[in-house]
Amino acid sequence: MGTVKVGTASWTDKTLLASGWYPPGADTPEKRLAHYAKHFPVVEVDATYYGPPNEQTAKLWADRTPDGFTFDIKAFSLLTGHPTKVSALYKDLRPETGKANVYPPDLEPQAYEQVWTRFLSALDPLAGAGKLGVLLFQFPPWFGIRRSNKEYLLEVVARCRPLRPVFEFRNASWFDGGNRDETLDFLRAHRLAYVCVDMPQGHKSSVPPLPVATADIAVVRFHGHSDKWTSKNIHEKFGYRYSDAELAEWAPKLRSLASEANVTHALMNNCYSDYAQRNASTLIDLLGDAAAPAAYA
């Protein structure tokens, strides 16, 4: 049976810095990352969704963490079909447009290819250090089940190889009725890793929490159950602290996933104050020997 690497989706959120979770001496990015690595073996980098990473930053992450530490990287918004601010693009690839946000068709084909190339190559320091985990491709609510979207999943795998993308859906059509089996069968047939999400239900973006492994990698992301899920305020959207009882229900499910997959990551994405860090620590305690130790442990 494998172990579960438990972590959070942020270590630099302003509300986390203000929460007191970091000791007074952890007053620089380097010291905060070191403190985080004393508690958790994995972290998800969400900043790379809003703007592509640069190689120097990735090298600093690799240099500032111990052997065995893992970074999961969220794919740049343009690569998942989300609206992307022109200002977030590489300066020399920005299209001449009056739009504030652009989509892949708004770029010249060569510029789009360059975004892919630069995004992936910037991660070389992490990959070279053995600290790159998965690439999280979280698709928008309008990315529903259809042939062209399935083909795009396969395209992503081909573009990323040998790196490992994992896929999170935010459209219920993938799991409506008979589509659930169709989706899981498709993912298994192509060894595509599905991201299980625990999130508020009853919204257009809601998908059911299905703790199943469709490849040798399994990922679970915990978004919380805020009653303000549709809020544009990110802290209202994710400002939810799990109870110990809720996390206790997930412990056996994660152990089961670990028995099916070679690698299992559980990331708390309820990033407000120190909610994610406190919940992640509780989940580690609940998992016991099934939880991977922190890299500095």
Show the 3-state SS of the chain. Answer: CCCEEEEECCCCCHHHHCCCCCCCCCCCHHHHHHHHHHHCCEEEECHHHHCCCCHHHHHHHHHCCCCCCEEEEECCHHHHCCCEEHHHCCHHHCCCCCCCEECHHHCCHHHHHHHHHHHHHCCHHHHHCCCEEEEEEECCCCCCCCHHHHHHHHHHHHHHCCCEEEEECCCHHHCCCCHHHHHHHHHHHCCCEEEEEECCCCCCCCCCCCCCCCCCEEEEEECCCCCCCCCCCHHHHHCCCCCHHHHHHHHHHHHHHHHHCCEEEEEECCCCCCHHHHHHHHHHHHHHHHECCCCCC
Residue 38 Cα distances to 17, 267, 281, 283, angstroms: 17, 16, 11, 16
Question: Is residue 295 in some structural domain?
Answer: no
In a domain, 55, yes or no: yes
**Per-residue pLDDT for 1 more than 80?**
no
pLDDT band at 50 (very low <50, low <70, confident <90, very high): very high
What's the mean pLDDT in 39-43?
A: 97
Q: Is 147 within a domain?
A: yes
Q: How far is CA 139 from the centre of its chain?
A: 11
CB 136 within 8 A of CB 164: no
Question: pLDDT value at position 142?
Answer: 95
Question: What tens digit of pLDDT does each residue of 161-199 get?
Answer: 999 999 999 999 999 999 999 999 999 999 999 999 998
pTM of the model: 0.96
Q: Is residue 164 part of a domain?
A: yes
Distances (CA, A) of 78 to 4, 5, 75, 82, 142: 30, 28, 8, 6, 14
> Which spans in 196-271 are helix H?
234-238, 244-260
The strand pairing partners of 220, in sequence order, are 196, 266
pLDDT for position 174: 96
Farthest CA pair distance, the chain? 55
Any domain includes 296: no
Task: In whole angstroms, give the CA distance from residue 61 to residue 53.
Answer: 11
pLDDT of residue 227: 84
What would you report as the CA-atom Rg of the chain, rounded to the nearest whole angstrom?
A: 19
Residue 232: pLDDT above 90?
Answer: no
Q: State the total domains in the chain.
A: 1
Cα dihedral sign, 101-106-107-109: positive
Mean pLDDT of 51-69: 95
| Domain with 39 in it | 4-290
pLDDT at 205: 80
Each residue's pLDDT tens digit, 91-105: 999 999 989 999 999
User: Under a CB-based contact definition with an 8 Å cutoff, are residues 19 and 271 in contact?
Assistant: no
Provide the mean pLDDT of the chain: 95
- Residue 167 in any domain: the answer is yes
Structure tokens at 35: 């403190």
Tens of pLDDT along 189-231?
999 999 999 988 988 788 999 999 999 999 999 998 888 888 8
Q: Domain containing 245 — which CATH number? A: 3.20.20.410
Contacts of 29 (CB under 8 A, 6+ apart): 12
Q: Which two tokens stand for residue 197?
A: 């999400």
> Of 23, 25, 28, which Cα lies nearest the Cα of 12?
28
Which residues, 6 or more positions from 177, have their beta carbon under 8 angstroms from its beta carbon? Answer: none
Q: What percent of the chain has pLDDT over 70?
A: 99
